[in-house]
Amino acid sequence: MNKEIHQLQPDRLWHYFMEICQIPRPSKKEEKIAAYVSDFAAKHNLQCTIDEAGNVLIKKPATPGFENRSGVILQCHLDMVCEKNSDTMHDFDIDPILPWIDGNWVKAKGTTLGADDGIGIAAALAILEATDISHGPLEALFTMDEETGLTGAFALKPGQLEGRILINLDSEDEGQLFIGCAGGKDTVATMPIETEEVPSGHVAYKVSLTGLKGGHSGDDINKGLGNAVKLMNRFLWNARETFEIALADFNAGNLRNAIAREAFAVFTVPGENEKQVLDFAKAYCNEIREELRVTEPDISFVIERAEMPEMVLNSALQADLLDALYACPHGVIAMSRDIPNFVETSTNLASVKFIDKKIVITTSQRSSVESSKKDVADMVASVFYLMQADVVHSAGYPGWKPNPDSAILRISVEAYRRLFAQEPQVLAIHAGLECGLVGAIYPGMDMVSFGPTIKGAHSPDERLDIASTVKFWELTLEVLKNIP
């Protein structure tokens, strides 16, 4: 373990964060971290229940003198996004995360850090353990599979939770208090791979697009980041038009809720066009570097000879695929008319995979307006219907409608002012939060979400700001102390 991190304050918060980093917790594989949390409850003689979905709920009595205060729920999720650089050897199922300090930040070595939402788990555990923190009746809800399906939050039942105030510990910008979020759904297109023989006289090449930042498909969708799927497809589309390439493989992006940051493709090209396609690749590299020089300074586009593939895509399928990916929207679709500088609706072209003789294209849509969420999902689907793909929408999840008159918001704003002599921002977030589902199951639940500053979430560039983590901790304790 990193001794420097163990020396950070508050010590128990960082102690638990480091312990959490040692425990594998990919989405849908949270059994080890759930066992750790339930063992924690047993060790500290706290009431603990685990529901059918695997959500862990720990209850702690009020501190002396606070027995008549309102009950409050601290809520965070147990899973983490598992992304790594292509040159990093790491098995998220068994290997620990390796945090280290870089200046004012805590980072991980070549992987996501898991501060989303490991720091929320750590805060909840440190509060549950403490004997010197004032609070009313306390519940800590640790949910499963937030990142890939919100299945834990979906499985909550009326009557499970007793409190009527919920503090979600899963936001990523210190100084911002969130009172609303976007809803979302996924749209996945699949089609069978149809192949033909490699044309005579062709040579094979592999192209690799790396070095993009990636990022959260909600929080970062408006930051002008490059999308590896779109950038690779743009190259292939133009190369097909000009040099008669034949595509053999296209593997780009990874997770549905992350902006694609790497892409790889294998194609063949007529031998007489070999020099021209190499010159075109070099020019294209310079072109996208210039376009993205501000937001993506580390972009890399490499072309190299490859082993001759056994087969290539049927020419008609290749044309349909590259046309559809070019036409498929990605990014901000609409800005809010109610909240300044707030993304209302967006879509993320997340990944393209050649898997088990099928092409699988994964996208995700978000909107704080339910009808707009459906509209943009249908827009994406229509593109892939044109190529006769099989398109499936997920059930999706609801948004969280802002309540500017929220009592817990007022308490949180006043606590922030007292502590830091500053005015916090009160915002909605374009990412999905479990508050939307909690609010649907528990109408009238009074909710707020806040956290420390986390940059690069859902990518190996994820980093946790140390100073903001201290402020997050202090704010949480101040809010708990002042809930009547």
Residues with catalytic roles = 79, 146
Q: Are 359 and 251 in contact (CB under 8 A)?
A: no
Provide the residue type at 301 as one letter. Answer: F
Nearest Cα residue to 371 out of 218, 209, 185, 241: 185
Q: Are 5 and 468 in contact (CB under 8 A)?
A: no
Residues 6+ apart with CB under 8 A from 193: 313, 317, 354, 357, 358, 359
Tokens representing residue 91 in the block? 């098995």
Length of the chain: 484
Determine how many CB atoms are found less than 10 A away from the CB of residue 110: 15
DSSP assigned state of 392: E
Say which residue the tokens 């983490």 belong to: 80
Q: How far apart are CA 169 and CA 119, in angstroms?
A: 8
| Cis ω before 249 (30° cut-off from 0) | no
Residues 6+ apart with CB under 8 A from 44: 128, 129
Provide the residue type at 305 as one letter. Answer: R
Q: How far apart are CA 42 and CA 315, in angstroms?
A: 62
- Name the 3-class secondary structure at 90: coil
Q: Which helix (H) or strand (E) holds 379?
A: helix 370-385
Tally DSSP H helices, then E strands, for the chain. 12, 23
Tokens representing residue 419 in the block? 């502590």
Q: Are 141 and 57 in contact (CB under 8 A)?
A: yes
Cα distances (angstroms) measured from residue 403 to each of 71, 92, 472 = 20, 38, 22
Rounded-to-10 torsion of CA 475, 478, 483, 484 = -160
Q: How far apart are CA 233 and CA 250, in angstroms?
A: 9
Q: How far apart are CA 145 and CA 140, in angstroms?
A: 16
